[in-house]
């Protein structure tokens, strides 16, 4: 069996098992080996599995556990999906996804970070402005999280203004 066939077999098994975490483990190998169209399908499958797990989580009225590998991978996939919407200037879709994600995890740091994302997109702040004015990219890179987790002082002002507007 060729390297490509082996990789495709591993990906297929992970998909059949609903194993998002294994798909992320295979991600770099997929990028190095597969063509662009196949990689697009690879990410579409991750998203499909993540949306299925989201539905199951919401229906079972539970929160995802950031320490559980499949929940962690699901949150990552859904976050990347929300950022994709934000990047495409689909602010209301991004905002709705960030709102759901902010309440989906037992991880308080993740939930707070997603509230900043949610409010910024809800307030029609572009992704570029969010990244330059609200997010602290250097600190986030040092934090080693898959999501933007560190913010400038401006973020707290945005959150406070949003709470005042809602109240």
Convert the pLDDT of each residue in 16-67 to its tens digit: 999 999 999 999 999 999 999 999 999 999 999 999 999 999 999 999 999 9
Helix residue ranges per DSSP H, the chain: 3-17, 20-25, 27-33, 36-59, 69-87, 91-102, 108-122, 127-129, 137-143, 153-166
**Cα–Cα distance for residue pair 9/159, rounded to 1 Å:** 46
Here the contacts of 58-64 (C-beta below 8 Å, separation 24 or greater) are 63/103, 63/104, 63/105, 63/106, 64/104, 64/105, 64/106
Please give the model's pTM, rounded to 2 decimal places. Answer: 0.91
Both tokens assigned to 124 = 């029609």
Convert the pLDDT of each residue in 113-150 to its tens digit: 999 999 999 999 999 999 999 999 999 999 999 999 99
């Amino acid at each position: 069996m060729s390297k490509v066939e082996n990789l495709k077999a591993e990906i297929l098994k992970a998909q059949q098992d609903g194993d998002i975490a294994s798909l992320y483990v295979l991600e770099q190998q997929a990028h190095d080996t597969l063509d662009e169209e196949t990689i697009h399908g690879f990410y579409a499958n991750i998203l499909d599995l993540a949306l299925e797990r989201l539905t199951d989580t919401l229906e079972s009225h539970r929160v995802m556990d950031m320490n559980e590998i499949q929940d962690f991978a699901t949150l990552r996939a859904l976050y990347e999906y929300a950022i994709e919407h934000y990047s495409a200037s689909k602010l209301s879709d991004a905002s709705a996804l960030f709102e759901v994600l902010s309440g989906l995890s037992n991880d308080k740091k993740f939930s707070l970070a997603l509230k900043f994302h949610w409010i910024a997109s809800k307030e029609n702040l572009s992704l570029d402005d969010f990244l330059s004015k609200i997010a602290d990219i250097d600190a986030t890179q040092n934090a080693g999280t898959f999501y933007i987790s560190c913010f400038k002082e401006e973020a707290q002002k945005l959150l406070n203004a949003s709470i005042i507007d809602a109240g």
